[in-house]
Amino acid sequence: MPRVLALTSAPTCSADLVVSDELELTAGGAGGVVGDRHFGKRRAVTVVCTGELEVWRDCAPCNLMDEFFGDGARHALGERCGISATVIRGGII
């Protein structure tokens, strides 16, 4: 059974990731993670596993991987990081 290892969001571009015990998600094109910089945008959520999300494109790792997990994380992931998705059913994670 899959499990959640970390829940993060960032309020603005280039802001540090904020680790949370839970996140609120709202559904649809104007949804996403409440309080996140991508809220209401097409790139609402990025996940690194499967779940009940509508997948619309791959999401290669960015510099935030090194900042959050440590130097070399982005390089180690290559192009295998995750997916960008749209929330189709809101709720609390």
Across 16-25, 37-46, 58-67, which has the greatest mean pLDDT? 16-25
Given this model, what pLDDT does residue 3 score? 73
pTM of the model: 0.61
Mean pLDDT, the chain, rounded, equals 77
Q: How many residues does the chain have?
A: 93
Q: Name the H helices within 7-69.
A: 63-69
Q: Cα separation of 86 and 42, whole Å?
A: 7
Tokens 């059974």 — which residue? Answer: 1
pLDDT in tens, 53-88: 755 555 666 776 777 677 887 777 666 566 667 778
The residue ranges of DSSP E strands in 1-93, in sequence order, are: 8-9, 18-19, 24-26, 32-33, 45-47, 53-59, 82-87, 91-92
Residue percentage of the chain with pLDDT more than 70: 70
Q: Cα separation of 23 and 65, whole Å?
A: 19
User: Contact at 8 Å (CB) between 84 and 59?
Assistant: yes
